[in-house]
Amino acid sequence: MADFSGKRALVLGVANKRSIAWAIAQQLAAGGARLAFTYQGERIEETVRELAGSVSGELVTECDVRSDDDIARVFAEAGETFGGELDILVHSVAFAAAEDLEGRFTDTPRERFWLALDISAYSLVACARAAEPLMEKAGGGSIVTMTYLGGERAVPHYNVMGVAKATLDSSVKYLAWDLGRKNIRVNAISAGPVRTLAARSIAGFTTMEDIVEERAPLRRHVSADDVGAAAAYLLSDAARNVTATTLYVDSGYHAMGM
């Protein structure tokens, strides 16, 4: 297990106990990290507060990543909680309108196209920028975001979310270049299908799962815990010279041509 003792981590994207962000937070907690969490919307506040309480989370605060004010406030609060420093940022946030995950990509209207890219890709840029001074003060840091193969290949139904992931993937590389000189690493994990709240809004999600079982080299699904373990590696000092990369946790599916 990775050692995170004394490390200070901010986790965005816990909605419930199935969230990938929660699996990552549990790894960080097990390694001894100090944790801060954000949630989006009153509807999930109580759930996130309960989960955060179970790992002695020191801060639970609202953040809608569409809002620059929210992002500025959240990082100021995290700075206050952690003595002006931050070591780890987990970005596990995405959104596209349900109707855009079932019809044709061609029919995506302008405002919902930008909504998906704003929440699912630009938010990483805004959060990395806000984290930069706190991580610089800490002598460096590690940022992990969550992506999917649908950003590299056309996956039926993934549609505008695929375009958002392509933007996210590219942002990881440019952020890694900018922030590398401050010893801040930026990486992505490309996960195979995991049954979460967000995944449920993708039409044909069970077909995606069936195809992985049939065609991935390991012929089995991945769990949120598998993703959490991979994130723990990227966020730990064991990955100190790993940045600007994508780690696939998908039973090898990404390597297949058919």
Based on the shown chain and the rule CB under 6 A, indicate whether residue 65 belongs to the binding site for ligand NAD: yes
- Would you mind telling me the total number of residues written for the chain in this entry? 258
Strand pairing report for 8-12 and 34-39: parallel
Q: Which of 109, 101, 88, 103 is nearest to 148 (CA)?
A: 101
Based on the shown chain and the rule CB under 6 A, indicate whether residue 198 belongs to the binding site for ligand NAD: yes
Residue whose CB is less far from ligand NAD, 64 or 85? 64
* Least CB distance to ligand NAD at residue 245 (A): 16
Residue whose CB is less far from ligand NAD, 58 or 62? 62
Based on the shown chain and the rule CB under 6 A, indicate whether residue 10 belongs to the binding site for ligand NAD: no
- The residues, any chain, with a CB within 8 Å of residue 20's CB and separated by 6 or more, are 13, 92, 146, 191, 194, 196, 224, 227, 228
Based on the shown chain and the rule CB under 6 A, indicate whether residue 194 belongs to the binding site for ligand NAD: yes
- The packing angle between helices 159-180 and 110-117, to 10°, is 40
Based on the shown chain and the rule CB under 6 A, indicate whether residue 128 belongs to the binding site for ligand NAD: no
Helix (H, G, I), strand (E, B) or coil at 10: strand
Judged by CB under 6 A, the residue of 25, 63, 143, 231 near ligand NAD is 63
Based on the shown chain and the rule CB under 6 A, indicate whether residue 247 belongs to the binding site for ligand NAD: no
Active-site residue among 148, 233, 248, 253? 148
* Least CB distance to ligand NAD at residue 36 (A): 14
148 tagged catalytic: yes
**Count of positions on this chain that bind ligand NAD (CB under 6 A):** 26
Helix (H, G, I), strand (E, B) or coil at 191: strand
158 tagged catalytic: yes
Residue whose CB is less far from ligand NAD, 9 or 94? 94
On whether the CB atoms of residues 244 and 173 are closer than 8 A, the answer is yes
Judged by CB under 6 A, the residue of 196, 236, 243, 251 near ligand NAD is 196
Vertex 242: Cα angle to 82 and 186 (nearest 5): 50
Based on the shown chain and the rule CB under 6 A, indicate whether residue 119 belongs to the binding site for ligand NAD: yes
- The residues, any chain, with a CB within 8 Å of residue 91's CB and separated by 6 or more, are 12, 13, 123, 124, 127, 143, 144, 145, 146
Based on the shown chain and the rule CB under 6 A, indicate whether residue 93 belongs to the binding site for ligand NAD: yes
Residue whose CB is less far from ligand NAD, 138 or 159? 159
Tell me which stretch binds ligand NAD (CB under 6 A): 51-59, 93-101, 176-184, 210-218: 93-101
Structure token digits, residue 124 = 């990483």
Distance, CA of 118 to CA of 113 (rounded, Å) = 9
Between the alpha carbon of residue 103 and those of residues 27, 128, 177, 210, 213, the distances in Å are: 37, 33, 37, 21, 25
The footprint of ligand NAD (CB under 6 A) covers: 13-15, 19-21, 40, 63-66, 92-95, 119, 146-148, 191, 193-194, 196-199
